[in-house]
Amino acid sequence: MFELFRQRRVGRSWLVAAPNRWDWALLPLVLAVLAALAFGAAQMDQPFIAGAATPISLSPIYLPYYLLRTILRMFMALACSLLFCFAYAAIAAKYRAAEKLMIPLLDILQSVPILGFQAITIAPFIALFPGSSLGVECAAVFAIFTSQAWNMTFSLYESMRTVPEELNEAARVFRLSGWQRFWRLELPFATPGLLWNMMMSMSGGWFFLVAAEAISVAGQDIKLPGIGAYIAVAIAAESGRAIAWAIGAMLIGIMLYDQLFFRPLLAWADKFRFEETQGETAQQSWLLDWGRRSSWVRASTERFWAMLRAALGWFSLGPASAAAPRLAALGPLLARAWEVFLVLAALAAGWRLAVFIHVEVGWREVVQVAGLGLLTLLRVVLLIGLASLVWVPVAVWVGLRPRYSRRAQAWVQFLAAFPVNLIFPLAVYVLLAFKLNANVWLSPLMIFGTQWYIVFNVAAGASAIPNDLRLAADSLGLRGWLRWKRVYLPAVFPSYVTGAITASGGSWNASIVAEYVSWGKTTLVADGLGSYIKQMTDAGDFHRIALGIGMMCVFVMVLNRYFWRRLYILAENRVR
The answer to whether residue 2 sits within a structural domain is: no
The answer to whether residue 298 sits within a structural domain is: no
| Residue 217, strand partner residues | 220
Kindly tell me if the per-residue pLDDT of 99 is higher than 90: no
CA–CA gap between residue 271 and residue 265 (Å, rounded): 11
Give CA 60 to chain center in angstroms: 30
Kindly tell me if the per-residue pLDDT of 491 is higher than 60: yes
Record the pTM: 0.75
Residue 268: other Cβ atoms inside 10 A: 17
**What mean pLDDT value characterizes the chain?**
79
Helix or strand (DSSP H, E) at 373:
helix 363-399
Taking residues 342-355, what's their average pLDDT?
Answer: 75
How many separate domains does the chain show? 1
**Maximum C-alpha span of the chain:** 79
Taking residues 138-166, what's their average pLDDT?
Answer: 87
Question: What's the domain range around 371?
Answer: 53-280+337-573
CA–CA gap between residue 550 and residue 515 (Å, rounded): 18
CA Rg, the chain, in Å? 25
CA–CA gap between residue 259 and residue 29 (Å, rounded): 12
Given a contact cutoff of 8 angstroms between Cβ atoms, the answer to whether 566 and 482 are in contact is no
Kindly tell me if the per-residue pLDDT of 84 is higher than 80: yes
Helix or strand (DSSP H, E) at 96:
helix 96-111
The answer to whether residue 372 sits within a structural domain is: yes
Given a contact cutoff of 8 angstroms between Cβ atoms, the answer to whether 479 and 470 are in contact is no
- CATH code (residue 188): 1.10.3720.10
Kindly tell me if the per-residue pLDDT of 328 is higher than 60: no
Kindly tell me if the per-residue pLDDT of 576 is higher than 60: no
* Environment class of 530 (CB within 10 Å of its CB; exposed 0-12, middle 13-18, buried 19+): buried
Taking residues 235-245, what's their average pLDDT?
Answer: 86
- The string of pLDDT tens digits covering residues 308-327 is 777 666 554 444 444 444 44
- The string of pLDDT tens digits covering residues 106-124 is 877 877 777 667 767 777 8
CA–CA gap between residue 53 and residue 445 (Å, rounded): 31
CA–CA gap between residue 299 and residue 30 (Å, rounded): 16
Separation in Å, CA 358 to CA 137, 220, 354, 355, 545:
37, 29, 6, 5, 16
Q: 162: which DSSP letter?
A: T
- As a 3-state breakdown, the chain gives helix, strand, coil percent values, each rounded to 5, of 75, 5, 20
CA–CA gap between residue 143 and residue 78 (Å, rounded): 11
State the pLDDT at residue 334: 66
Kindly tell me if the per-residue pLDDT of 53 is higher than 90: no
Kindly tell me if the per-residue pLDDT of 391 is higher than 50: yes
Given a contact cutoff of 8 angstroms between Cβ atoms, the answer to whether 23 and 297 are in contact is yes
Closest CA to 421 of 234, 173, 245: 234
Please report which confidence band the pLDDT of residue 15 belongs to, taking 50, 70 and 90 as the band edges: very low
CA–CA gap between residue 26 and residue 43 (Å, rounded): 26
The answer to whether residue 286 sits within a structural domain is: no
Given a contact cutoff of 8 angstroms between Cβ atoms, the answer to whether 215 and 136 are in contact is yes
The answer to whether residue 27 sits within a structural domain is: no
The answer to whether residue 403 sits within a structural domain is: yes
Given a contact cutoff of 8 angstroms between Cβ atoms, the answer to whether 224 and 209 are in contact is no
- The string of pLDDT tens digits covering residues 123-140 is 788 888 887 888 888 888
Cβ contacts of residue 106 below 8 Å, gap of 6+?
88, 92, 150, 153, 154
The answer to whether residue 498 sits within a structural domain is: yes
How does DSSP assign 298-365, residue by residue?
HHHHHHHHHHHHHHTTTT---PPPTTHHHHHHHHHHHHHHHHHHHHHHHHHHHHHHHHHIIIII-HHH
Taking residues 191-202, what's their average pLDDT?
Answer: 84
State the pLDDT at residue 220: 64
Q: 479: which DSSP letter?
A: -
State the pLDDT at residue 333: 67
Kindly tell me if the per-residue pLDDT of 88 is higher than 90: yes
The answer to whether residue 248 sits within a structural domain is: yes
